[in-house]
Amino acid sequence: MTDATAAAPAHELTQVNLARLKFPLDSPELKDFVDALDPVNADAEAADGYVWRLQSEEGNATDVPVFGDDWLIVNLTVWRDQDALTAYMYRGRHREMLARRRDWFERVQEAMTALWWVQAGHRPTVAEAEARLLHLRAHGPTPYAFTLRTSFPARGAEPVAFEVPGNLGCSL
């Protein structure tokens, strides 16, 4: 084992967050949000600890289907660890966008953000993200799916069997 291999992390942190749009993406009400996507994504890619983000051919993920709901958009990223993720989230343009989220997105009752650990190099799918969110909604924070407020170390990140209740959709 080389020193470089020994230093490589075994796990990376995945985050998913969904947002329910108040208006169509091409509406004047969402112009500021849409115009900020490329610069905010570039900031993420340049951030210390950034690993990967889901994107379509458009360069973002606003056209990637999630939960079969055309009004939901998904942000799915992988980071070195929680410190790297939060350092990015709460500064610069991303922080400015967070401050305006109620202008663009509906307030929903269910959990719309989940974190979980993946093996280093794994790139999660939207289906994985949906399953983690459903698990979080059904069971609260666990090592399988957790939140920034209640997080878990990378150990214990294996899937657990559960039955999903039928009322865990994305209602307002």
Q: What's the whole-model pTM score?
A: 0.85
* Residue 16, token pair as written in the block: 């998913």
139 Cβ contact partners less than 8 Å away, ≥ 6 residues apart: 145, 162
Q: Does the pLDDT of residue 162 top 80, yes or no?
A: no
pLDDT in the model for residue 9: 78
pLDDT in the model for residue 7: 64
Q: Does the pLDDT of residue 92 top 70, yes or no?
A: yes
13 Cβ contact partners less than 8 Å away, ≥ 6 residues apart: 78, 79, 80, 81, 82, 84, 85, 115, 116, 117, 118
Q: Does the pLDDT of residue 163 top 80, yes or no?
A: no
Mean pLDDT of 60-87: 96
pLDDT in the model for residue 164: 53
* Residue 131, token pair as written in the block: 């399953």
Amino acid letter for position 102? R
On the CB side of 150, CA atoms within 13 Å amount to 11
